[in-house]
Amino acid sequence: MKETITSWWAAQSKRDQMWLTIGASFLLLFIVYSALISPYLSAQQKLEQRVEKKQQLLVWMQQQSSQLRALGGQAKQPHRNGKQSLLSLIDSSAKRLQLAQHLSRVEPDGEHSVKIWIDAVEFNQLIRWYGDLYSRHGISVDNLILDNGEPGLVKARATLRQG
């Protein structure tokens, strides 16, 4: 095989050998660019866009945080309702504030706490619901994890505790 290629190369004129060498060099550069450089640059651009979106989200959340702190001093003393179970209080409150369709999972976590999963809800609506749970029923957020989705929407996992 090597002998065949060598004899074919030797049979070519010097001019053809030069053009074949130039063509092979360009082909090699194209393959290196397509296989290595282009994917790297594309990934870097996507990461830069993600960082920019995360920075915008951080600014927005900081603005919301200052509003929440301002509202924190206005909170009423929570009303304790010992007749209803924690699950039914959460369900009725979510229905009242039109959040029930966003609850993807609710499960008990001990006697006085519940874990909830919420899909794609407006951040402000979620905070109003947590405020309602606390002010009406004394249910507080023990643990909260937020993931951003579409602009203005969050996915939340939380542990709610009564008492």
**108-113-114-119 Cα dihedral, nearest 10 degrees:** -170
What pLDDT was estimated at residue 44?
Answer: 94
Q: In the sheet that 153-162 helps form, which strands lie side by side, from edge to edge? A: 103-108, 113-122, 153-162, 139-148
Question: Residue 163's pLDDT is what?
Answer: 74
Binned at pLDDT 50, 70 and 90, residue 116 comes out as very high
pTM recorded for the entire structure: 0.52
Helix H or strand E segment including 65? helix 38-72
**pLDDT tens-place string over residues 131-161:** 888 888 888 898 888 888 777 788 999 999 9
Across the chain, what does the average pLDDT equal? 87
